[in-house]
């Protein structure tokens, strides 16, 4: 999966944020709608789309969507 593909799928998880506002350098944990439920959505997305496991601690340890993507590589 490319970074752009990852960003697009990540943006699909967000219901209240316009996808055009989401990019690789987005600090996702600073988004108004970020919640513990979205952490679970990211875990599920990573598992189904990338076949990898990630923990909430690992998600919290990344700052931007690009950081998260690179962590998964």
The structural domains of the chain, ordered by start, are 3-72 (1.10.1200)
> Region 33-37: what's the mean pLDDT?
91
Q: Is 38 helix (H, G, I), strand (E, B) or coil?
A: helix
| Residue 47 pLDDT | 96
Q: Which of 47, 44, 52, 43 is nearest to 72 (CA)?
A: 52
Q: Does residue 17 have a pLDDT over 90?
A: no
Residue in the structure block whose two tokens are 């439920």: 37
Considering the entire predicted model, what is its pTM?
0.88
Q: Is 22 helix (H, G, I), strand (E, B) or coil?
A: coil
> Region 31-49: what's the mean pLDDT?
93
> Token pair of 14, please?
């967000």
């Amino acid at each position: 999966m490319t970074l752009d593909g990852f960003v697009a799928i990540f943006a699909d998880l967000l219901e209240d944020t316009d996808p055009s506002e989401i990019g690789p350098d987005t600090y996702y944990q600073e988004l108004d709608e970020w919640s513990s439920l979205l952490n679970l959505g990211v875990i599920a997305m990573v598992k189904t789309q990338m076949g990898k496991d990630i923990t909430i601690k690992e998600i919290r340890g990344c700052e931007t969507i690009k950081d998260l993507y690179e962590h998964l590589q």
